[in-house]
Chain A
Amino acid sequence: MLSVRKTKLRRQALILSMAPMVDVVFLLLIFFALVTRFASAENVQMDLPKPEHSAAQNVQLKDRVVINCRLADPGDIGAGVLYSVGPYPPESLERISARLVVAKKAVEDLKVVIRADRRLPFAAVRVVMQVVAENRIEMMNLVAHVGEGE
């Protein structure tokens, strides 16, 4: 009789209710599945400008070329600047200009989006603007964060 009670007690002690854990796990899974947006390869991660009360428009442009201007070393402002077109690796401004020529031939109404690190000197971005202007591309867009800045 005593042994039967002991066995029952042991069995009860081992029972683990999985339902709340599964509930929480599913809740988290649904949350992450809904909020996740896979990063676009053409938008290289960088510290974009954060203007006060940003009036930047969140629009999706068709027929665009994204030019990324970022610091060679994110921790060192004097380390130089890397320029890249969309998902391509960093390359020279001449090469970028050649890419723009090809893109302009394919799409007459080509738009250029310049994404530049907020810490870059203006001169580093101005050279890109000059390349864009030399290729007679009129539609240029500057990227900044939307919403309140610092």
Chain B
Amino acid sequence: MTQEGHQLNAATLQARARSRRQRHIRRQRSSALSVNLTPMIDVTFLLLIFFLVTTTFEKPEGLFAANLPRDSGLSSLALPISPIVVRLTAEGDGCRICIDNFTRVPASFGDLADFLKNVQGNPGFDDQTPVVIIAEDTLAWDHVVGCWNAAVRASCKNIAFGTE
């Protein structure tokens, strides 16, 4: 082997050693920077699946205050002189609305709310005029609450359930 050949070999070896060192440094740097995300993703997915499975979207609930008279039961309500008596009877899946002493028959609870609102302008009636709801036993609770809601919408302050 010539001297030139030896020098070339030495240069090649040096270059290889340099590149190996650089690769080693690069690897060290990259390993220092990497964060193992696997456990975090595991936990995140676990939480996500938990929430997905347990979540049920519910409709908000509200209350209608229906205070009962003191020292008396439902059947012994002391009725004032001129309450507005609303009678509800089952009619198929629907409901028939009748109002005592009034010829008008509201077609819906929206109509009933308008009627109750208009009645309050008449002499002898105001928002304190009692509204008594008398419902048929077989009538669906939904309609009874619908009637109560109509009276509340009409700003009636005294609403009660009555019995025959």
Q: Enumerate chain A interface residues (CB-CB to B < 8 A).
A: 18, 22, 25-26, 28-29, 32-33, 35-37, 39, 43, 48-59, 61, 113, 115-126, 129-130, 132-134, 136-147, 149
- A58 in contact with B60 given A50-B142, A118-B145, A123-B137 (CB within 8 Å): yes
Contact residue among B44, B47, B65, B74 (Cβ-Cβ distance under 8 Å from A141): B65
Chain B, interface SS category: mixed
CB distance from A116 to the nearest CB of B (A): 5
Instruction: Write the chain A residue with the least CB distance to B155.
Output: A55
Q: List 6 additional contacts besides A113-B63, A119-B142; criterion CB under 8 Å.
A: A28-B48, A32-B48, A35-B55, A52-B149, A117-B141, A129-B161
- A122 in contact with B51 given A54-B149, A132-B68 (CB within 8 Å): no
CA distance A122 to B148 in the complex (A): 13
* B3: chain A residues within 8 A (beta carbon): none
Q: Scan residues 34-60 of chain B and give those whose CB is less than 8 A from a CB of chain A.
A: 37, 41, 44-45, 47-48, 51-52, 54-60
- A32 in contact with B55 given A56-B62, A122-B135, A145-B60 (CB within 8 Å): yes
* B44: chain A residues within 8 A (beta carbon): 22, 25-26, 29
Q: Scan residues 70-103 of chain B and give those whose CB is less than 8 A from a CB of chain A.
A: 70-75
CB distance from B38 to the nearest CB of A (A): 10
Contact residue among A56, A121, A124, A133 (Cβ-Cβ distance under 8 Å from B72): A133
* A147: chain B residues within 8 A (beta carbon): 59-60
Q: A121–B139 contact, CB under 8 A? A: yes
Q: B142–A29 contact, CB under 8 A? A: no
Q: B47–A134 contact, CB under 8 A? A: no
* B55: chain A residues within 8 A (beta carbon): 32, 35-36
CA distance A22 to B145 in the complex (A): 48
Residues 133-148 of chain B, each 1 if its beta carbon lies under 8 Å from chain A, else 0 = 0011111111011101
